[in-house]
């Protein structure tokens, strides 16, 4: 797998005890074991737990910027992700990840020229 | 060792002409005057500051202040814990005296912010977030919007209840000469102000502020040589929560506040019911409510009632944010946690002017990030 294709998948990370996180951590925050597996959420659906439409946004960020806290069920475990949405959402809505090449303008950010990644996944309402 | 506050002072908060060094010196010298000690008496100097390098290109503020006020060769250290840097400074200053490393410690919290636009200052503050959240353009106010919606939905809370926190804290700030705002607001004004992060609006949030606050710490035994009546640190605590805000199991529960509160009450040997006055971290209205619940002043889902019913008003059973809070006294990041303790110091010694309440025991809670880092402290008057 090349780095380019890896970047276009949305992975959660799992330790031997089954705890899931997004993003990855050097050790599982719940049990301190190393995270050894990934779970691909790219084609999965999650549910909106809460959301906000932000009108006052930083330089280089779209305005308004609707953000949603989304929970995915993976077997008996759950994992949460906070991300922008592509359209208006309501609490309880089903959404799916959609890849976006540039989430905000790097040149207008205090993190310009750093290791910050600027691509990622927003959430799209499931029709 | 029992640790005392020998002096306390602050600059006026608001949009100030001075830069970080000017503001810190102003608060430091006023505080030394209040404590009746000289710069040469200082063993340790702590400067609480979040981001002077990012805000104005001045780092090394602890050394700058030591030189500016004539405290060289005192040991000097900058204390950084984002917006809880002031509270972390209380912890560091308390440790320095409690451990015996310092007999006389000066703590100065300071931040200069208003020369930047709200958007630019917001991005500097948002740089404390994890990269996977930062990439989506999150701001600290945006976390509050997500949390407020979850809280209102889950506990069936009326939206206007949060506005009562802003109304109360603006009313208190009208009685505080050092506060940024001297402007009363009503519920209607809050609810009709521009949306910042739906469902929260401009008047739910604290402003951007310049200012500085300072305290002198020493052993209680030494304080008795200077004064008959002083304030002691009865309990202190500190804790962290997740860096990635979305990884918390319950977005409506401030876990680090609860952990810090438990440590603070244990050390002081007292319970929430014994607190007479509190300065909480109302960066946004909903955070005052959630801290009331995490400290055990209210049951889960019930904290919103305290401002609505007047419990937390100046004449209520538990006055909260008598200074006006971050909301209306203002929030110069690194200065805030120190200013909270200056307010409690003044309240406990009867020096709070028109906003004076009856209190022998007062609490502070300073929150970094969106509940990421927390310190709390309980102060008592010693007569």
ipTM topping 0.90: yes
Q: Which residues on chain A are in Cβ contact (under 8 Å) with B146?
A: 50-52, 67, 69, 82
Range of the domain at B257: 118-207+238-382
Nearest CA among A45, A42, A100, A89 for reference residue A67: A89
Number of domains in chain B: 2
Q: Which helix (H) or strand (E) holds B162?
A: helix B160-173
Residue by residue, pLDDT tens for chain A (127 residues) are 444 455 589 999 999 999 999 999 999 999 999 999 999 999 999 999 999 999 999 999 999 999 999 999 999 999 999 999 999 999 999 999 999 999 999 999 999 999 999 999 999 999 8
B181 and B247: one domain? yes
Contact A91 B149 (CB under 8 A): yes
Give the number of other Cβ atoms within 10 Å of residue B383's Cβ.
8
Query: Domain residue spans in chain A?
Result: 3-125
Q: How far is B138 from chain A (nearest CA, A)?
A: 8
Nearest-CA distance A61 → chain B (Å)? 6
CA distance A56 to chain B (A): 5
Contact A29 B247 (CB under 8 A): yes
Exposure on the CB side of residue B211, measured as CA atoms within 13 A: 28
Same domain, B249 and B273: yes
Q: Taking a C-beta distance cutoff of 8 angstroms, is the pair A36, A47 a contact?
A: no
Residue B352 pLDDT > 60, yes or no? yes
Same domain for B145 and B251, yes or no, is yes
Q: Are residues B301 and B372 in the same domain?
A: yes
A52/B198 Cβ within 8 A: yes
Residues of B with CB under 8 A from a CB of A: 54, 118-120, 122-124, 126-127, 130-139, 141-142, 145-150, 153, 194-200, 242, 244-247, 251
Same domain, B215 and B242: no
CA separation for the pair B294, B365 (Å, rounded): 11
Instruction: Say if residue B179 is in the same domain as residue B215.
Output: no
- Point out the residue among B118, B123, B245 whose CB comes nearest to the CB of A110: B123
Q: Do B222 and B295 share a domain, yes or no?
A: no
Residues B179 and B62 in one domain: no
Instruction: Give pLDDT tens digits for B36-92.
Output: 999 999 999 999 999 999 999 999 999 999 999 999 999 999 999 999 999 999 999
**At which residue do the structure tokens 């981001």 appear?**
B51
Do B257 and B356 lie in one domain? The reply is yes
Does the beta-carbon distance from B137 to A61 stay under 8 Å? yes
């Amino acid at each position: 797998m090349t780095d380019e294709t890896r970047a276009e998948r949305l992975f959660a990370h799992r330790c031997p005890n089954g705890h899931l996180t997004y993003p990855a951590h050097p050790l599982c925050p719940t049990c301190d074991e190393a995270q050894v597996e990934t779970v691909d959420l790219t084609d999965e659906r999650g549910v909106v737990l809460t959301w906000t439409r932000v009108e006052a946004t930083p330089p280089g960020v779209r305005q308004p910027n609707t953000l949603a806290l989304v929970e995915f069920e993976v077997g008996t475990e759950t994992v949460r992700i906070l991300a922008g949405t592509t359209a208006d959402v309501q609490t309880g809505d089903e959404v799916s990840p959609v890849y976006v090449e540039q989430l905000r303008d790097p040149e207008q950010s205090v993190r310009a020229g750093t290791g910050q990644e600027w691509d990622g996944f927003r959430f799209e309402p499931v029709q | 060792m029992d640790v005392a506050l020998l002096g306390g002072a602050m600059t006026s908060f608001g949009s100030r002409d001075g830069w970080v060094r000017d503001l810190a010196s102003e608060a430091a010298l006023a505080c030394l005057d209040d404590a009746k000690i000289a710069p040469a008496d200082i063993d340790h100097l702590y400067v609480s500051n979040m981001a002077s390098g990012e805000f104005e290109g001045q780092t090394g503020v602890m050394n700058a202040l030591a030189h500016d006020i004539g405290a060289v060769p005192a040991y000097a250290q900058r204390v950084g814990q984002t917006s809880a840097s002031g509270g972390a400074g209380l912890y560091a200053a308390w440790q320095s005296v409690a451990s015996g490393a310092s007999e006389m410690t000066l703590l100065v919290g300071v931040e200069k912010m208003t020369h930047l636009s709200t958007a630019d200052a917001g991005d500097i503050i948002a740089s404390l977030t994890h990269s996977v959240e930062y990439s989506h353009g999150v701001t600290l106010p945006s976390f509050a919007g997500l949390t407020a919606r979850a809280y209102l939905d889950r506990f069936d809370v009326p939206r206007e209840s949060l506005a009562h926190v802003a109304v109360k804290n603006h009313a208190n700030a009208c009685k505080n000469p050092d506060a940024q705002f001297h402007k009363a607001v009503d519920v209607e004004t809050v609810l009709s102000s521009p949306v910042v992060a739906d469902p929260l609006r401009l008047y739910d949030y604290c402003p951007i502020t310049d200012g500085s606050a300072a305290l002198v710490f020493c052993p209680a035994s030494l304080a008795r040589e200077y004064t008959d009546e002083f304030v002691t640190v009865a309990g202190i605590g500190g804790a962290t929560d997740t860096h990635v805000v979305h990884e918390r199991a319950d977005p409506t529960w401030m876990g680090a506040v609860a952990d810090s509160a438990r440590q603070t009450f244990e050390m002081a040997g007292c319970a929430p019911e014994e607190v007479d006055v509190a300065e909480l971290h109302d960066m946004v209205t909903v955070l005052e409510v959630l801290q009331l619940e995490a400290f055990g002043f209210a049951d889960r889902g019930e904290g919103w009632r305290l401002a609505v019913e007047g419990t937390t008003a100046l004449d209520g059973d538990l006055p909260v944010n008598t200074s006006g809070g971050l909301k209306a006294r203002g929030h110069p990041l690194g200065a805030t946690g120190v200013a909270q303790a200056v307010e409690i110091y003044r309240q406990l010694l009867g020096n709070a002017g028109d906003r004076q309440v009856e209190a022998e025991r007062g609490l502070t809670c300073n929150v970094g990030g969106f509940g990421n880092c927390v310190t709390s402290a309980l102060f008592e008057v010693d007569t």
